[in-house]
Amino acid sequence: MTKNQWIALGVVAALIVIPVGLKLSRSETGKMVDVAPITLRALSPTVLASGSLTYESQVTLAPEVMGRVTDILVKEGDQVKRDQLLMRLDPRAPQAAIEQSEAQVRQARLSIDRRQVDFDTQTAKVKRFEALREKGMVDVNTLAELVSARDLAGVDLRTSREQLSQSLAQLRQAQEQLAKT
């Protein structure tokens, strides 16, 4: 063999021996596993899947009234029906609103009584002074002031009646709010 052939043979041998040597020097140890004796037992099926759930129908819940939740009557995932009670709200705030509205109604009724007395008094004064005016005992300006006072008393009476209507409406609204808790 010639010198060149020996060199070529050495290069080929090195190309074969080096990878084989590296492979052998990195001897892999096997994976560690748990070993157990064979026994009879039930298997629990599990499915590992990725994706997203879609619903036949999805509903967004929105409360009709605001309040603190005191009792939840369903669990997540339960099927519910229309008009089914899902939770209870603390009734104390709506109950306080009812009591406040009832007080406003009573106050408005008292205001009407007071304004009615004032209107009746002013009306009686106007009648007396009209009779005195016909006899010339009272001047026109005094009678005009009394008529004006009577008219203002009538306006105050109508205002009080409107306040009563408003207070009654607020009371009904507060009662409806309480019914929804």
- Say what the pLDDT of residue 30 is: 65
Tell me if 135 is assigned to some domain.
yes
Q: Largest Cα–Cα distance of the chain, in whole Å?
A: 164
Is 119 within 8 Å of 157 (Cβ atoms)?
A: yes
The total domain count for the chain is 1
- Say what the pLDDT of residue 125 is: 97
Which domain covers residue 164, as residue numbers? 92-179
**Contacts (Cβ under 8 Å, ≥6 apart) of 79:** none
Across residues 86-97, what is the average pLDDT? 90
pLDDT beyond 90 at 110: yes
| Banded model confidence at residue 29, pLDDT cuts 50, 70, 90 | low
Tell me if 144 is assigned to some domain.
yes
Better-predicted residue by pLDDT, 46 or 133: 133
> In angstroms, what CA-CA distances link 75 with 53, 84, 135?
19, 13, 86
pLDDT per position as a tens digit, 152-177: 999 999 999 999 999 999 999 999 98
Is 149 within 8 Å of 122 (Cβ atoms)?
A: yes
Tell me if 12 is assigned to some domain.
no
- Say what the pLDDT of residue 53 is: 67
pTM of the model: 0.57
Q: What are phi and psi of 67, to 5 degrees?
A: 175, 170
Tell me if 151 is assigned to some domain.
yes
Is 115 within 8 Å of 157 (Cβ atoms)?
A: yes
